[in-house]
């Protein structure tokens, strides 16, 4: 890792162009730590955890677009953002110590939308000058929707509509792509015109955006987020219903997440009812078992559909339990995986229902293909294995691997086997409802 002071030449580049790239100034260990921290917020976002989170609709379904208000919840991120190289370089450009104004992650998943031409200054209250730092966690290339920056930071606020530079003015600006890679940082002036495009690759393009102002102007971070929370609270989260609102500016081109196509209250109320309180095994209830499996999926970085499948995989037990309350867990199986998958198809697509339908078969697959898995099965699971058909033959394995929900079903199965801990704490079912609603849109 190099750690150069800002040279007079670099300061001159920033003054002339309104932006400056520092190449390779972060170590790969630092970038890995930042990725891990951002990964934690991505998981928080799925279950309405700490931080402010914004989703957008993509062709692949709803995806996280932005998380912000992060440092109160992550000491490592706070240290990186508020002490050390980044804030020092910003201070050097400002000619005095800098203080953090706001911090966010833009995810830009495959198909994630870009931003219309704008200047950040139009969205930033309280102080009239800021410097922002983009810290890429993945390669930001023209294909993945990197920033395009134009000179013009010395022209003040350009003609704009709700923060978007007017088309005629934007067309006259000379836009330069700024491709940056993990380890680089890009510093840009809050008056520098910039824009970006959709991520057209198959990989996510995540970046931290850290915004600072001069210390002498005051510390407004708390007020900024209090205002934003108040303004967004109770609003529908869109501009005119056709673009997601993630900023004061109307510059983000992402589509709002579709409203759930189906009403989930019937499903949710089952997990509130008595059959969810029946024992799953000797120690935990059906509800607790499902919640534990969902926690494992979340911690494992599984996609939203797999998390939902983990949560709901035994809903067939609840359905059968509502009809015939029986005390002995083993006897009330009744092909609960098929019953559950059929029921869930009223609310969700195959990404959720297939792993549910296959989670019993996945056990037969794992017993046949993973010796450590077979050795670790609980006595009751060994007994039920015989009823379920024993280990899969090689040809059954090949057939199973060809099924669309195969990989997800195997993951759900591993959570299923682990989700029997009487001492584990989990969040409640309600924390997962927004995730279920995002999945119920198609």
Q: Are 237 and 230 in contact (CB under 8 A)?
A: no
Per-residue contact string for residues 411-440; x = within reach of Fe ion by CB under 5 A: -----x------------------------
Per-residue contact string for residues 397-416; x = within reach of Fe ion by CB under 5 A: -------------------x
Q: Are 113 and 27 in contact (CB under 8 A)?
A: no
Residue 324 beta carbon to Fe ion: minimum distance, rounded to whole angstroms = 17
Q: Residue 91: CB partners within 8 Å, gap ≥ 6?
A: 97, 98, 212
Residue nearest to Fe ion according to CB distances in the complex: 416
What single-letter DSSP state applies at residue 323? H
Nearer to Fe ion, 56 or 416 (CB): 416
Residue 245 beta carbon to Fe ion: minimum distance, rounded to whole angstroms = 40
Nearer to Fe ion, 89 or 363 (CB): 363
Per-residue contact string for residues 167-196; x = within reach of Fe ion by CB under 5 A: ------------------------------
User: What is the Cα–Cα distance from 80 to 393, expressed in whole angstroms?
Assistant: 52
Nearer to Fe ion, 57 or 416 (CB): 416
Nearer to Fe ion, 179 or 281 (CB): 281
Neighbours of 4 (CB within 10 A): 10
Which tokens is 48 given?
């309405």
Residue 280 beta carbon to Fe ion: minimum distance, rounded to whole angstroms = 7
Nearer to Fe ion, 10 or 306 (CB): 306
Question: Where in 277-336 is the site for Fe ion (CB under 5 A)?
Answer: 314
Beta strands in 49-150 (DSSP E): 52-58, 61-68, 98-106, 115-118, 131-136, 147-149
By CB under 5 A, the count of residues binding Fe ion is 2
Nearer to Fe ion, 77 or 312 (CB): 312
Neighbours of 399 (CB within 10 A): 13
Helix (H, G, I), strand (E, B) or coil at 211: strand
Nearer to Fe ion, 197 or 286 (CB): 286
CB hemisphere CA count around 92 (13 angstroms): 18
Residue 293 beta carbon to Fe ion: minimum distance, rounded to whole angstroms = 7
User: What is the maximal distance between C-alpha atoms in the chain?
Assistant: 79
Residue 380 beta carbon to Fe ion: minimum distance, rounded to whole angstroms = 12
Burial (Cβ within 10 Å: 0-12, 13-18, ≥19) of residue 355: buried
Residue 316 beta carbon to Fe ion: minimum distance, rounded to whole angstroms = 7
Residue 353 beta carbon to Fe ion: minimum distance, rounded to whole angstroms = 14
CB hemisphere CA count around 312 (13 angstroms): 34
Binding site for Fe ion (CB under 5 A): 314, 416
């Amino acid at each position: 890792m190099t750690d150069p002071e800002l040279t007079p030449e670099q300061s001159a580049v920033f003054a002339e162009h309104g932006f400056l790239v520092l190449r390779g100034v972060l170590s790969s260990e630092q970038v890995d730590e930042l990725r891990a921290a951002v990964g934690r917020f991505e998981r928080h976002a799925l279950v309405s955890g700490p931080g402010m989170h914004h989703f957008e609709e993509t062709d692949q379904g709803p995806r996280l677009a932005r998380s912000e208000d992060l440092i109160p919840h992550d000491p490592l991120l706070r240290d990186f953002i508020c002490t050390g190289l980044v804030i020092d370089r910003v201070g050097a450009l400002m000619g005095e110590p800098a203080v953090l104004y706001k911090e966010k992650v833009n995810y830009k998943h495959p198909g994630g939308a870009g931003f219309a031409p704008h200047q950040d200054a139009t969205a930033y209250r309280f102080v009239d000058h800021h410097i922002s730092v983009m810290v890429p966690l993945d390669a930001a290339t023209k294909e993945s929707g990197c920033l395009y920056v134009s000179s013009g930071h010395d022209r003040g606020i350009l003609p704009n509509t709700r923060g978007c530079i007017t088309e005629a003015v934007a067309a006259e600006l000379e836009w330069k792509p700024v491709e940056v890679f993990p380890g680089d940082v890009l510093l840009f002036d809050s008056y520098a015109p910039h824009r970006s495009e959709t991520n057209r690759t198959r990989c996510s393009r995540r970046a931290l955006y850290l915004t600072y102002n001069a210390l002498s102007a005051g510390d407004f971070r708390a007020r900024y987020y209090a205002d934003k929370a108040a303004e967004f609270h109770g609003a529908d989260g869109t501009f005119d219903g056709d673009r997601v609102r993630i900023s004061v500016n109307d510059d983000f081109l992402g589509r709002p997440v579709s409203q759930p196509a189906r009403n989930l209250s019937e499903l949710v109320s089952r997990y509130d009812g008595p059959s969810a309180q029946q024992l799953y095994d000797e120690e935990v209830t059906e509800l607790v078992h499902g919640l534990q499996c969902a926690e494992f999926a979340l911690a494992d970085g599984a996609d939203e559909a797999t998390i939902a499948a983990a949560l709901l995989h035994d809903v067939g037990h609840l359905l059968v339990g509502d009809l015939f309350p029986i005390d002995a867990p083993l006897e009330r199986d009744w092909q609960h995986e098929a019953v559950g998958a059929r029921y869930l198809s009223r609310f969700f697509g195959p990404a959720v229902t297939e792993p549910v339908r296959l989670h019993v078969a996945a056990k037969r697959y794992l017993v046949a293909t993973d010796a450590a898995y077979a050795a670790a099965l609980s006595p009751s699971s060994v007994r039920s294995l015989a009823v379920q058909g024993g280990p899969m033959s090689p040809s059954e394995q090949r057939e199973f691997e060809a099924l669309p929900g195969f990989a997800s079903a195997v993951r759900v199965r591993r959570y299923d086997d682990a989700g029997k801990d009487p001492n584990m704490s989990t969040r409640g079912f309600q924390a997962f409802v927004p995730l279920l609603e995002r999945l119920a849109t198609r």
